């Protein structure tokens, strides 16, 4: 897809300028972190490299929805919202670690495996990807399957992990991150499945 086509494509959700600006800032920060030098020449090299790389790759970072009626930027979220989401996710990882630790070290093993099924419908495929990966990162839960119609099948190791999926907290956060309405519905829980 050529640059001119991207600039004029009405299917694109979001502003190419904002996306390119965010991408350039992220690439420049990555450059600075890897180089470790703050001399002027390294800063200039980093700026030039970030701008050229952004210009060459931004059409490649567009993903279509299922119907291919819209195109979304891979980094189509607010950087401040992503920082807040990352902090929130790290806290959820701590809570889930404690839950699994207590379940495994109690006098009677409190492992209660379940398969939790719910629908999370998002037009933006990146929202679905972030949700599935966030669930899998959280100890005690694994995303087993995500269907085209938005059905998630999650293996939960403990009752606390299953309850966390059913209450929709992570789904709400992902919808908030991408600025979309929450379309979430629990289908069923099946106990004893692994």
- Other Cβ atoms less than 10 A from the Cβ of 65: the count is 15
pLDDT tens sequence across 170-182: 999 999 999 999 9
Residue 194: the pLDDT is: 47
For residue 12, name the pLDDT band (cuts at 50, 70, 90): confident
pLDDT tens sequence across 76-114: 888 889 999 999 999 999 999 999 999 888 888 788 899
Per-residue pLDDT at 191 exceeds 90 = no
pLDDT tens sequence across 51-78: 999 988 888 888 898 888 898 888 788 8
Structure tokens at 142: 């694994």
Calpha distance 182→194 (Å, rounded)? 28
Calpha distance 113→6 (Å, rounded)? 47
For residue 47, name the pLDDT band (cuts at 50, 70, 90): very high
Residue 112: the pLDDT is: 87
Calpha distance 114→151 (Å, rounded)? 16
pLDDT tens sequence across 130-141: 999 999 999 999
Whether residue 76 contacts residue 124, with contact meaning beta carbons closer than 8 Å, is answered with yes
Per-residue pLDDT at 115 exceeds 90 = yes
Calpha distance 51→180 (Å, rounded)? 30
pTM: 0.81
Sign of CA pseudo-dihedral 9, 27, 22, 184: positive
């Amino acid at each position: 897809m050529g640059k001119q086509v991207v600039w004029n494509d009405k299917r694109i959700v979001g502003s190419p300028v904002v996306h390119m600006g965010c991408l350039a800032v992220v690439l420049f920060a990555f450059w600075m972190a890897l180089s470790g030098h703050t001399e002027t020449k390294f800063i200039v090299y980093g700026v030039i490299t970030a701008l050229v790389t952004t210009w060459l790759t931004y059409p490649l970072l567009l993903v279509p929805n299922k119907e291919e009626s819209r195109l979304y930027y891979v980094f189509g979220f607010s950087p401040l919202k992503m920082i807040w989401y990352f902090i929130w996710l790290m806290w959820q990882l701590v809570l889930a670690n404690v839950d699994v630790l207590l379940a495994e070290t109690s006098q009677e093993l409190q492992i209660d495996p379940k398969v939790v099924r719910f629908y999370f419908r998002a037009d933006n495929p990146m929202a679905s990807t972030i949700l599935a990966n966030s669930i899998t990162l959280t100890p005690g839960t694994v995303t087993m399957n995500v269907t085209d119609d938005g059905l998630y099948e999650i293996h939960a190791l403990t009752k606390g992990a299953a309850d966390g999926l059913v209450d929709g907290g992570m789904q709400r956060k992902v919808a908030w991150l991408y600025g979309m309405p929450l379309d979430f519905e629990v289908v069923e829980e099946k106990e004893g499945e692994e």
